[in-house]
Structure 1
Amino acid sequence: MTADTPVGIVGLGLMGFALSTRLGDAKIPVVGFDIDPVRCEMIKATGGRVVTSVRELAACSRTIIIAVYSGEQVAALFGEIDDGAGAARPVLICITTCGPAEIIAIAEQASRAGLPLLEAPISGTSIEVLDGTAMALLAGDDAIIDQVGGLLKILCPRSLRVGAIGDASRAKLAINLILQNNRAALAEGLAFAERLGLDGPAFLAAARQSAAYSRVMDTKGEKMLTRDYRPQSHIAQTLKDAELIIEQAGRCGMHLPLTTIQAELLRTAIALEGPDRDSAAVIEAIRRSPASPGVLR
């Protein structure tokens, strides 16, 4: 990877834009594609180049970051990437959170097309990507990881190799399970403290010093208290991942009671606040819920 080698990004949402910003700060040229013209204009405004198709992006990129919504969307890109790349075979870095079976099938599809693939879902919000505190979970051939090691350090200074293709998705889903339930517990605790008449900021400060501390208090606590739901991560994406977690648990013969309830809270919050709000908006599903029958307020 050299400073004049363009990096392609397919998907210019919160995460794709954050990654493009890190590349731009490192003076690495960015070529982006998204079906949303507003997102494309944002990349242009920061000095990136925008193309009109994935095929065109593949023709001018030696490395392609895939930052789309779902595994299904990832799989749908391969025809255009294959056609556009020609004899050059760009390395694909898939940061999309997929099901393990999905990413394994995608890797087999990539292998048949002669496209080296690295699985690299990111644990952290777009803000954490921007400030370098997010962590990439890396899975795949060590030679491919080493080949793009310099680029990975720019994109996500913190990373962890977790094994073969599929293992990064498994680890990401298990991490997300804990994270999402921590977030829901924080939301319930803050809403409870508010109902008890406690001062929200003072209570959050106390909780941060207590045995209940989790990092989600730092990232989402103030947003919940102030109802600042400008997105660092979209709540619809959070629900998508929760549903993926529940689906994978079912395949393993497991029932996840906390995650199942948490997914319902997410659905309620989306109905109240909309799908594009921050995941901190889950607190609204608790704040606005009526007391259980027979419970005195």
Structure 2
Amino acid sequence: MSSGSGVQPKVGFIGLGIMGQHMAGHTLAAGHELHVYNRTRSKAKTLVERGAVLHDNPGAVAAASDIVITMVGYPADVEAVYFEAGGILDKARPGSVLIDMTTSSPALAERIAEAASERGVTALDAPVSGGDVGAREAKLAIMVGGDGMAFEQASPVLRTMGANIAHMGAAGAGQHTKMANQIAIASTMLAVAESITYARRAGLDPDVVLDVIGTGAASSFLLNGLGRKMIREDFAPGFFVHHFVKDMTIALEEAARMGLDLPGLELARSLYDRLVSDGFGEEGTQALYRVYNAIHA
């Protein structure tokens, strides 16, 4: 990798959604030559104006980069950009590091790592937590699975995007850590929505309630951040409902494989499934409040 000569590694970034835009921008601001691809080309416009190079496909990004980062939607999208003919694995430079930051399947992360090793490259799974705010402020928590040496190589780039970066273990360990994160969020979101619904029904001012309980044992980012959005009925997405349903489904599949029963997670997914069925899949996860209050756009 070119960083060994004192030259910053060239970074490729595939997937410029709500979070990817900011994450890629931080690597560019840190002085890395940035190569990008997004299915909707217009989403690359701001980065290109700042100096990023736009490519026509993921393979072309990989061929131009020392570190290739993917931040796409679903495991099927991850599989496509890595394994399709002419994709990342086919075109990656020898010695490069591939980093999938999508929340995806641990088993798929293991497959990618194995296939990368066979091609003379290394792959890390590095999902993130912190949502659009964490991505914008470069304060993401980044949980990484895979080869330790590759983690050390990639760490300077990861530090441009995150404030808490941890190597969790072998390939797939990052994704398993993210599943634990999403399981904690799922039941907490139920609690936040129910707390605010109860406060309103009791005739209390929910903002004042959060002023009080948000400094006590119940304090959390979800209560104090997304809880305020629930009160304002602001359901603009920081993280899409349909992506959260995807994450919970992966977690439930992994739990079943391990023989675990997670009733809180099952309940949360059923309520978020209702939001998707009602047409609210493109809203933020705080839209769970709709389920309790029958708020309709």
TM-score computed with the length of structure 2 as normaliser = 0.90
| Residue equivalent to 1:31 | 35
Bigger drift between 108-117 and 69-78 goes to 69-78
Task: State the Cα distance separating 1:159 from its structure 2 match.
Answer: 0.8
**1:118 paired to 2:124:** yes
How do 1:129-168 and structure 2 match up within 5 A? 129-168=135-174
Q: Is the 8 A contact 2:131 2:238 kept in 1?
A: yes
**1:99 paired to 2:105:** yes
> Which residue of 54, 62, 68 corresponds with 1:50?
54
* Structure 2: unaligned runs, 5 residues or longer: none
**1:135 aligned partner, one-letter code:** A
Q: Is the 8 A contact 1:273 1:281 kept in 2?
A: no
How do 1:187-198 and structure 2 match up within 5 A? 187-198=193-204
| Residue equivalent to 2:81 | 77
Q: Is the 8 A contact 2:94 2:119 kept in 1?
A: no
Task: State the Cα distance separating 1:99 from its structure 2 match.
Answer: 2.1
| Structure 2 residue matching 1:157: 3-state secondary structure | strand
Please give the alpha-carbon distance, in whole angstroms, between the structure 2 residues aligned to 1:67 and 1:25. 18
Please give the alpha-carbon distance, in whole angstroms, between the structure 2 residues aligned to 1:259 and 1:182. 10
Give me the CA root mean square deviation. Answer: 1.9
**1:9 aligned partner, one-letter code:** F
Please give the alpha-carbon distance, in whole angstroms, between the structure 2 residues aligned to 1:89 and 1:81. 13
Task: State the Cα distance separating 1:5 from its structure 2 match.
Answer: 4.0
Please give the alpha-carbon distance, in whole angstroms, between the structure 2 residues aligned to 1:223 and 1:271. 22
Please give the alpha-carbon distance, in whole angstroms, between the structure 2 residues aligned to 1:9 and 1:112. 22
Please give the alpha-carbon distance, in whole angstroms, between the structure 1 residues aligned to 2:288 and 2:91. 41
**1:55 aligned partner, one-letter code:** G
* Structure 1: unaligned runs, 5 residues or longer: 290-297
TM-score computed with the length of structure 1 as normaliser = 0.90
Please give the alpha-carbon distance, in whole angstroms, between the structure 2 residues aligned to 1:229 and 1:49. 34
| Residue equivalent to 1:295 | none
Task: State the Cα distance separating 1:52 from its structure 2 match.
Answer: 0.9
**1:17 paired to 2:21:** yes
Please give the alpha-carbon distance, in whole angstroms, between the structure 2 residues aligned to 1:273 and 1:132. 31
| Structure 1 residue matching 2:237: 3-state secondary structure | coil
The one-character-per-residue Cα deviations of 1:209-259 (angstroms, maximum 9, x if unpaired) are: 222222212331211111222221111111100111111111122221111
Q: Is the 8 A contact 2:113 2:146 kept in 1?
A: no
Q: Is the 8 A contact 1:32 1:57 kept in 2?
A: yes
Is the alpha carbon distance of 1:3 and 1:203 closer, same or farther for their aligned partners in structure 2, counting shifts above 3 Å?
Answer: farther
> Which residue of 180, 183, 201 corresponds with 1:174?
180
Q: Is the 8 A contact 2:38 2:44 kept in 1?
A: yes
| Residue equivalent to 1:282 | 288
The one-character-per-residue Cα deviations of 1:107-145 (angstroms, maximum 9, x if unpaired) are: 112222222111211122121122133211112111111
Task: State the Cα distance separating 1:89 from its structure 2 match.
Answer: 4.1
Q: Is the 8 A contact 2:94 2:121 kept in 1?
A: no
Please give the alpha-carbon distance, in whole angstroms, between the structure 2 residues aligned to 1:273 and 1:197. 30
Please give the alpha-carbon distance, in whole angstroms, between the structure 2 residues aligned to 1:269 and 1:47. 39
